Amino acid sequence: DGPYHGPTWYVSTDGSDETGDGSIDLPYQTIQWAVSACSIQDTVILLPGSYEIESPIEFPEFPIIIRSSEGFPNTSIIGSQYPVLLSNTAPSICLSTIQGITFEEFSYIGQGLQYLPHFEECKFSNIEYTGGIFNMAPSDSIAQFDHCIFAQNTAHNSPIDGLFTGTSFYVNFTNCSFAWNANGIFRIDYGGVTFNNCIVRTGLGAINQTSKQANYSFIEYPDEFNISSMYECIDGQVQGSPGFVD
C-alpha cells in the first residue's frame, strides 16, 4: 500500500516515533512528531492516556486540529517543566484547534502569548501558577474557548495573577464553566472579555479585580452565574452584568 501519508495522524502512549508511521496501526508516541508530519488542515488524534510533553508544541504556519479520540475525561496532557505553547506563536496558530483534552498539573500553558489556538471541549485543572496559566502579550487577536472547563486552579500572587493575565488582549468564552479557581480568573488592563452562556462559581475571588479600560460583556448567563465581590472595573465597561454575590 505504500507509506502512510495522513491526513489523520495518530498518537499513543504505547506508540513509537522511530518505528511508527502515524497510522492507527502504527501510531507515533509524541504529539510533536505527529504535528511535524501534518500538512494543511490535517488532524492529530490522541488515543486515550496521559501525555507529558518534553518541549512546547510547535504549531505549523497553517491550520491543523489536535484532538482526542475519546474526549477530555480519557486524554490528558500533564505538567512538566515546559509550557504547552511557545511564546513566539504566529498569527496562523489562531486557525488551529485543540479539542477534547485535559491540561493539568502545569505551572502555565504559555507566557508572553500573542495568539492562541481555538480550544474546544478542553479542561484546565489543578494548575498552580505564577503569572497566569495564559500569560498574554498585547494583541488585537481574539482567543476563543468553547465548552471548556476551568476548575480548581490556583494563582499564587493574587491580585496580580489570574488564569489569564496581560496588559491588553481579547478573549471570548462560550458555554464554559469556571469552578473554584482560587484567587481569580483575570488580571487585565486593556482589552475585553465576553462570557456567552457561561457558569462562573465562586472560588476565592471568581473574577479578580481589573483596572484601566478592560471591558466585560455577559450574554445569556444562566442562574448559576455567581461572581464574588472581589471585582472592580475602574474605567472599563460592564455590559449585561449579572448580580455580583459573595
- CA 24/CA 150 separation, integer angstroms: 31
Buried b (16+ CB within 10 A) or exposed e, 145-161: bbbbbbbbbbbeebbeb
Could you report the per-residue pLDDT of 65-120, keeping only the tens digit for each?
Answer: 999 999 999 999 987 677 788 766 678 888 999 999 999 887 778 777 888 899 99
**CA-CA distance, 208 to 206, in Å (whole number)?**
6
**CA separation (Å) from 213 to 22, 38, 159, 165, 167?**
47, 40, 17, 14, 10
Which of these ranges, 17-26, 32-41, 58-67, 137-146, has the smallest mean pLDDT?
137-146
Position 204 confidence tier, pLDDT thresholds 50, 70, 90 = very low
Strand, helix or coil for residue 165: strand
Name which of 146, 147, 165 is nearest 155 in CA terms.
165
Assess whether pLDDT exceeds 60 at residue 202: no
Instruction: Please give the average per-residue pLDDT across 143-170, as a whole number.
Output: 79
Residue tagged 489523520 (cell numbers)? 8
* pLDDT at site 220: 52
Answer whether residue 230 shows pLDDT above 60: no
pLDDT of residue 229: 35
CB 67 within 8 A of CB 46: yes
| In the predicted structure, residue 206 carries a pLDDT above the cut 50 | no
Q: What is the pLDDT of residue 73?
A: 94
The answer to whether residue 213 scores a pLDDT higher than 50 is: no
Q: What's the pTM value of the predicted model, to 2 decimals? A: 0.84
CB-based contacts of 237, cutoff 8 Å, min separation 6: 215, 216
Sheet holding 177-179, edge to edge: 49-52, 75-78, 102-104, 123-125, 149-151, 177-179, 199-201
Instruction: Name the pLDDT band for 228 (thresholds 50, 70, 90).
Output: very low
Buried b (16+ CB within 10 A) or exposed e, 13-29: eebeeeebbbbeeebbb
Among 152, 221, 223, residue whose Cα is nearest residue 193:
221
Confidence check: pLDDT of 10 > 90: yes
Q: How large is the average pLDDT for residues 201-209?
A: 49
Phi, psi of 143 (to 5 degrees): -75, 145
